[in-house]
Each structure stands twice: as C-alpha cells, then as structure tokens.
Amino acid sequence: MKQYVIDQLRENDFLKLEDYLNKNSEAGELPGIYWIPVPKSLLQTTQLEHTDCQPFYFAVNLDLNSIRFELLVRTRSRLRCGCIQYANQKQRDFIINYADQLFEKLGLMT
C-alpha cells in the first residue's frame, strides 16, 4: 500500500489528531480509521464515470505512534472496482497537502 506516513507521534499529538478527526471526518468501522472525501474536481475519468461508486475517499489510519494517509482513492460502496485507483499527481498533492495543513492547523511537531 502506498502511504504518506508521519511517525514518532507524541501522545499529545495523537490526542489532538484524534479529536480533530473525530469532529471533522467520517469514522470507519475499525478504531483509528477515518475517511476523507476527495473533491469531485480531482476525480479521474473512470471515477467520474462510476456515479454509483461516488463519493470517493482516502483513508487515514491513526494509532498512538503514527498517522498514515493512504494514497489509494476508493469508494466505500464496493471492495473491488476499476474506479478504485492509486492517486494520480493532483490527488496525491491533495492528500499530502491535507496532511501537512492538518499538522500546521493543530500546531503539531513544530
């Protein structure tokens, strides 16, 4: 799995991230998993064509020591489909910018 990983989180960093993600994203069925929507303007052609699979998300996995931003754009309605693809350059930039802005907004690891 391709991911953008930030590790060596301090306990306070973890708590701030957990609080923010609980308030500002969709929690997954498993603890520490969060779903962040990908803007429709960034979807690839196949993703735009698969209207039944929309909306599309990337997953965030938070644990005590690290946070992982998956570089896989996926639907939550299906496990396998041709529209589930690794992020293209614009989507990858969006995911990494989301992560960096999150840390900046919360004043973490500065």
Q: Position of tokens 């799995």?
A: 1
What pTM does this model have? 0.92
Radius of gyration over alpha carbons of the chain, in Å?
A: 14
Q: Which residue has the tokens 């306070």?
A: 12
Phi then psi for 56, rounded to 5 degrees? -110, 150
d(CA 16, CA 40): 28
Q: How does pLDDT run across 42-67, given as a tens digit for each residue?
A: 999 999 999 999 999 999 999 999 99
Domain count for the chain: 1
* Mean of pLDDT values over 80-103: 96
Which residues are CB-contacts of 90 (< 8 A; sequence separation ≥ 6)?
A: 42
* Residue range of the domain that includes 29: 3-106
Q: Report which of residues 99 and 110 the model is more confident about.
A: 99
- Asked if 100 and 78 count as a contact pair (C-beta separation under 8 A), the reply is no
Q: How far apart, in Å, do the first and last CA atoms of the chain sit? A: 28
Three-state SS at 52? helix
